Structure 1
Amino acid sequence: MSNDNLYTKTLPKLFMILVAYSVFFTFLICMHNLREWAKPRRQTVRAERHLLDLTPLNKDNRFRSKFDGHWIFLLETSGRGMLDSRHVCSLEALAKANPNVTIFLVMPCPVRVINLEDNVALARLLDSCESVQLATLDAKKILKDLPLENISQTEILQSNTYKQRTSDLLRLALIWTFGGTYMDLDVITLRNLSPLLQTENFLAAESSSSINSFVMKFRKGHPLVMKLMERVRESYQPVDNSTAPWAFSSAVANTFNISVQEAIARGNVSDVQIFNSSVFSPVKYGDFEDVFDDSKSILADKIISGSFGLHFWSKMAKRFQIKPNSTAPFSIIAKQFCPKTFEILASG
């Protein structure tokens, strides 16, 4: 048989085979696309989270009509719309121990939306915790007509610690305007706070001779809060780190005509309870490094058994790295009370 005849008979067969394969694969592709089209469409999860604006709720008891029970405010005033993992640890511990309390994480304007892709630890917490509300507010409007208004618009801008000072002012304005509890983001809650929250008004001591502003609770419009704002205004110095702790001690002494040491020793003045330092500040300012010392692990049991919270002095503690196998009191406590966040915190 000649080559020409061979090609003449073979080529049509090859062509038919190729056509058959083409039709077959085209059919498979069409069926795959049809199945994909028929699948239910998954909604795209938005990484952005809009914050609840508290500003319009400051009139006519709108806030109380919207939220009942107990609530706790925490402030993040960096303006970045982000939360440090150590602070998320505090938030997790607070929410875990107090599931029936509404917790407001307040990030003042201009923050109105945050990107959860940039807040991995916070995003993980929000996925499993419905009691945490992300909120914002207009600081100028909340401070309007209060003793702190002029400071917030003029002198505070001269401070090297502008963000901390903003927090100092807004915590008082929040408690005056809405009532409720305020807590710093560097306080890890160690147990349910119900026994304390039953008290209408309280302050917390950081030592036997000093009352600090890191935890407090007052009913809306309490006169001592107005006195506190007045003392902060009178004593404000932009070069200082913070005037709030001194102002708190001074306001109590002047309002009730008693030394702050005696007020703390008594445990209450008028209708205000004063919790001693063991409640929220079991480790004093001068010893805060012990909390991050691997050789001080025994301190963790003492703190957990005897306190409602641990104030860990975040500003000074930034230089201490958290390691997965650390035996430092902070790490032991974080593993137990904010386990989800600790995984991220210890991973660096």
Structure 2
Amino acid sequence: MYKTLRYSRTFGNWFGKMIAVLVVGLVTTFLFFWGDAPAIFPITGLVKKNFTPFSRFSFPQTMNGGHTARSGITSAGTNTSSPGWLRHLCPRYQEEEGYTKLTWQTPTENTIFFTQTSCRAFLLPREACAVESAAYRNTGRPLLVLFTAPALDLTHPLMKVLSGLAGVRLAWLDLDQLFLNSPLSAWHSDRRWMMNEERAPTFVSDAGRAELLRVYGGTYLDLDAITLRALPPVTSRPWMVRVDSDWVTIAVTGFPKRHPFMQRMVEDMPSFFDATHCCSLGPELVTRNLRPMCAANLTAAQEGEQCQDITILPRHLFVPLHFGKELKRLFKDDAGYGAAFFNVSQAYSLHLFNSLSRRALIAADGDTIMAETFRRHCPKVFAQVSSTHAFF
């Protein structure tokens, strides 16, 4: 009897373990293939949000015609070597056959530039609209889009559109080259931006744009800032933008190279960096460093402020819809609503705040501010998107 009971218990324990292994295997497999679910690491017992740089938003390959290779792009092929930071920042990046390799390039003071740090091999519709609108409204100025992905899918319909725009260059944002002789060198080599993997692309973007502006100067735009009219040129007087009554941002900004403010920003970043906080290298650090320079201590004046040689432009010129209380107006669909907004707005750009608004679906034929923005300011991207999708 006791032997039977012992064998029964042994079998029960074995059977229970087999069931547990089967359940864990099924759940892990399900989560692995379901991009928006958390990834489970059974060895460490850690659960973290999965970083999914490849969007499910795709376009059928229906657009005819090839692309013109621009400066910064080399012939297609498989990348046989990659820098160490790439597997940390871009764990899911996989270079496909036929991708086009990029080369490291830098802006100049006259360049309008963007950074794409989420490691996708193509741009999403809103990002593509940001690039086209900047080219459309700033003819004659060079545009540079820097990608952490070392190769791009230039057969993607939206990438075909951008590759055909005059003056637009696509290049690689090589972080090792960028931070090589920077006050951020150790911050990068120690991978401190990996202390919060979910926010790592944001930290790299904040630090990267500051270093590019410090060394090379130029006009920087976020990839969710749609240009509505020609941007101010970068002269000896740099400019920044107020994002609300409390904060100033460099999400849209222009600086000459080697400006003392950007030097101080980059030098302060390693000590001010807080991996638990989204904006420690963004508006918080910008505003903190501005306050001692401003006689009126940043008054949020409607006509702008002057902090020594830096002009702080008022919010309504670059962030006409506040990210908190007004952002929902982007999606309000009412007869003539979108056109009415542009009839009265004098803004240079419209910030979409993709981190807050990316899940909203916008009807391509609607009367929203968003749809009207696409129609007026990035007509080629709008034509491509609306020809294949009812929403974007």
Q: Does 1:208 align with 2:259?
A: no
Contact 2:233 2:254 in 1 (8 A): no
1:77-92 equivalent positions in 2, closer than 5 A:
77-92=117-132
SS of residue paired to 1:307: coil
Q: 1:53 aligns with which of 97, 104, 127?
A: 104
Letter in 1 for 2:315: S
Measured in 1, the distance between the counterparts of 2:304 and 2:169 equals: 36
Q: Partner of 1:151 in structure 2? A: 187
Letter in 1 for 2:182: L
SS of residue paired to 2:182: coil
Q: Does 1:312 align with 2:352?
A: yes
Q: CA deviation at 1:242?
A: 2.2
Measured in 1, the distance between the counterparts of 2:370 and 2:304 equals: 31
Letter in 1 for 2:200: Y
Call closer, same or farther: CA 1:198–1:181 in 2, change over 3 Å.
same
Measured in 2, the distance between the counterparts of 1:91 and 1:179 equals: 19
SS of residue paired to 1:141: helix
Q: Partner of 1:113 in structure 2? A: 151
Call closer, same or farther: CA 1:263–1:170 in 2, change over 3 Å.
farther
Q: Partner of 2:331 in structure 1? A: 292
Contact 1:209 1:264 in 2 (8 A): no
1:268-313 per-residue CA deviation (whole Å, 9 max, x = no partner) reads 1111111110111011011212111214953654456310110010
1:52-201 equivalent positions in 2, closer than 5 A:
52-54=103-105, 70-108=110-148, 111-117=149-155, 119-127=156-164, 129-152=165-188, 153-159=190-196, 160-193=198-231, 195-198=232-235, 200-201=237-238
Measured in 2, the distance between the counterparts of 1:44 and 1:105 equals: 16
Contact 1:190 1:310 in 2 (8 A): yes
Contact 1:186 1:311 in 2 (8 A): yes
Q: CA deviation at 1:328?
A: 1.0
> Which gives a bigger RCO, structure 1 or 2 (Cα 8 Å, sep 6+)?
1
Measured in 2, the distance between the counterparts of 1:79 and 1:266 equals: 36
Call closer, same or farther: CA 1:142–1:283 in 2, change over 3 Å.
same
1:230-282 per-residue CA deviation (whole Å, 9 max, x = no partner) reads 34333211111221111111010134465233688652111111111011101
Contact 1:209 1:261 in 2 (8 A): no
SS of residue paired to 1:220: coil
Q: CA deviation at 1:212?
A: 1.2
Q: Point out where structure 2 has 5 or more consecutive residues left out of the alignment.
A: 1-65, 69-75, 77-97
Greater fraction helix: 1
Measured in 2, the distance between the counterparts of 1:299 and 1:343 equals: 18
TM-score with structure 1 setting the length: 0.76
- Deviates further, 289-298 or 305-314: 289-298
Letter in 1 for 2:308: S
Q: 1:217 aligns with which of 248, 254, 262?
A: 254
Letter in 2 for 1:53: W
Q: Partner of 2:372 in structure 1? A: 332
Contact 2:114 2:220 in 1 (8 A): yes
1:91-123 per-residue CA deviation (whole Å, 9 max, x = no partner) reads 111111112010000013xx3321212x31121
Call closer, same or farther: CA 1:143–1:300 in 2, change over 3 Å.
farther
Q: Partner of 1:247 in structure 2? A: 285
Measured in 2, the distance between the counterparts of 1:44 and 1:144 equals: 33
Measured in 1, the distance between the counterparts of 2:123 and 2:352 equals: 16
Call closer, same or farther: CA 1:87–1:299 in 2, change over 3 Å.
same
- Deviates further, 240-249 or 261-270: 261-270
1:201-250 per-residue CA deviation (whole Å, 9 max, x = no partner) reads 11111123310121111111111002222343332111112211111110
Contact 2:229 2:349 in 1 (8 A): yes
SS of residue paired to 1:121: helix
Q: Partner of 2:305 in structure 1? A: 267
Q: Partner of 1:17 in structure 2? A: none
Give % identity.
22
Contact 2:193 2:275 in 1 (8 A): yes
SS of residue paired to 2:277: coil
Call closer, same or farther: CA 1:78–1:171 in 2, change over 3 Å.
same
Structure 1 vs Structure 2 CA RMSD = 2.7
Letter in 1 for 2:208: L
Measured in 2, the distance between the counterparts of 1:44 and 1:74 equals: 21
Measured in 2, the distance between the counterparts of 1:140 and 1:220 equals: 20
Q: CA deviation at 1:314?
A: 1.0
Measured in 2, the distance between the counterparts of 1:343 and 1:252 equals: 42
1:58-110 per-residue CA deviation (whole Å, 9 max, x = no partner) reads xxxxx75xxxx7211100011122211111011111111112010000013xx
Number of positions where the alignment pairs a residue of Structure 1 with one of Structure 2: 291
